[in-house]
Amino acid sequence: MRHVVVPEDLSAHEVEAVFAVSADLQEKYEQGRRDALLPGRVLALVFEKQSLRTRVSFQAAMVHLGGSSLFLGEDTGFASSREGIADFGRVLSEYVDVIVCRSKAHDTIVQLASVAEVPVINGLSDYCHPCQALADIYTLKRHVGRVAGLTLTFVGDGNNVARSLAMLCGLLGMRFVLAAPKAYQFEPAFCSHLAAVVPQAEIVQTTDPVEAVTGASVVYTDVWASMGQEKERARRMQDLRAYQVNEALMKHCPDALFMHCLPARRGEEVTDGVIDGPQSVVVEEAANRMHVQKGLLAWLLT
Ligand code: CP
Ligand code: NVA
């Protein structure tokens, strides 16, 4: 049994295998076909934070695969004083075949995976968002045909999404550049961990967004205050205002794709002109969440 709690729970070879299943299922889906690879299987979504894309794409994926899903919000008492995570996870494992968890603290998912008797997939934590990064790199691959040797530049806060992209880029032989003020760059502990997992990873951190996007195949951004950081919002808006992805910045990389995990704060980290512009693939990225998660579910459970 395998969990996907962090991107590095998959090897490069396994990511390629998941992408192959995803592409096959996507092609069939676009032809109006649904392959019932998981009949009678049940997915539980245990969520401590809001979600549109992750929740709905996983639930739709299970319907298309012939299975079903249960959305479990706050009223189940997960990670609360009602009962411990160990009892919750052991009991839930008796009812369902796979669990997707979105937690406030990353350690909650780690604890859940340590007790669950079925695969646990991270549907976002404060530390990382592996399913998002998988869909993003899948999207790039479908545009360019390959990913090794390409550069993905993330502009803004070195957050959960940025960490996941950096790790996945490293695993897949891509160059990852983070343009952020020093205080918003990756923590030394994450850099050492990444270097230990992928010694050949090429990770560059800079405070200069123009230098960072020049030559990039993808320019990526995300909100400046993630869920759980609402109290820091005013300071973050101030600190990150020079890192907005706008038309002037995108002029330095006219051939790059623009990506954003969504939801976006238009007018803050990205302008309407960029997110709605010709370089943007944000809706396709969101659509690919479903295709890649189908691939991941089928790969984990069959
Ligand atoms: N990108 C993403 O994970 O979106 P949701 O928060 O809506 O699931
Ligand atoms: N960094 C954002 C991503 C949302 C999909 C957050 O954690 O709120």
The answer to whether residues 47 and 14 belong to one domain is yes
Can you give the residue range of the structural domain that contains 73?
Answer: 7-129+288-301
Q: Which pLDDT does position 149 carry in this prediction?
A: 98
Q: Which pLDDT does position 233 carry in this prediction?
A: 98
The answer to whether residues 208 and 247 belong to one domain is yes
151 lines ligand 1 (CB under 6 A): no
CATH assignment of the domain containing 68: 3.40.50.1370
124 lines ligand 1 (CB under 6 A): yes
* Confidence at 204, pLDDT banded by 50, 70, 90: very high
Q: Which pLDDT does position 272 carry in this prediction?
A: 98
Which residue from 167, 208, 211, 169 is spatially nearest to 7, judged by alpha carbons?
A: 167
CA-to-CA separations, 224 to 157, 195, 235, 269, 294, in angstroms, rounded: 6, 26, 10, 7, 30
The answer to whether residues 250 and 139 belong to one domain is yes
Q: Which pLDDT does position 294 carry in this prediction?
A: 98
Q: In what order do the strands lie in the sheet with 98-102?
A: 68-72, 42-47, 98-102, 120-122
Residue 1 lies in a domain: no
The answer to whether residues 60 and 178 belong to one domain is no
Ligand lying nearest the CA atom of residue 233? 2
264 lines ligand 1 (CB under 6 A): no
The answer to whether residues 140 and 263 belong to one domain is yes
Rama region for 169: left / alpha / beta (φ>0; ψ in -120 to 50; rest): alpha
**How far is Cα 196 from Cα 175, in angstroms, rounded to an integer?**
16
Q: Among the options 3, 53, 64, 102, which is catalytic?
A: 102
Count helices and strands in the chain by DSSP H and E runs = 12, 9
**Signed CA dihedral, 186, 190, 196, 197: sign only:** negative
The answer to whether residues 88 and 196 belong to one domain is no
Ligand lying nearest the CA atom of residue 223? 2
Calculate mean pLDDT across residues 192-220: 98
Calculate mean pLDDT across residues 248-276: 98
Catalytic residue at 132? yes
51 lines ligand 1 (CB under 6 A): yes
Ligand lying nearest the CA atom of residue 287? 1
pTM for this structure? 0.98
**Domain total in the chain:** 2
Q: What residue owns the CA closest to ligand 1's atom 3?
A: 54
* 247 contacts: CB under 8 Å, gap ≥ 6: 271, 273, 274, 277
Residue 208 lies in a domain: yes
The amino acid that residue 288 corresponds to is: N
Ligand 2 atom closest to the CA of 222, numbered from 1 = 1
Catalytic residue at 222? yes
The answer to whether residues 182 and 293 belong to one domain is no
Which residue from 133, 170, 152 is spatially nearest to 296, judged by alpha carbons?
A: 133
pLDDT digits (tens, 9 = 90+) for 76-114: 999 999 999 999 999 999 999 999 999 999 999 999 999
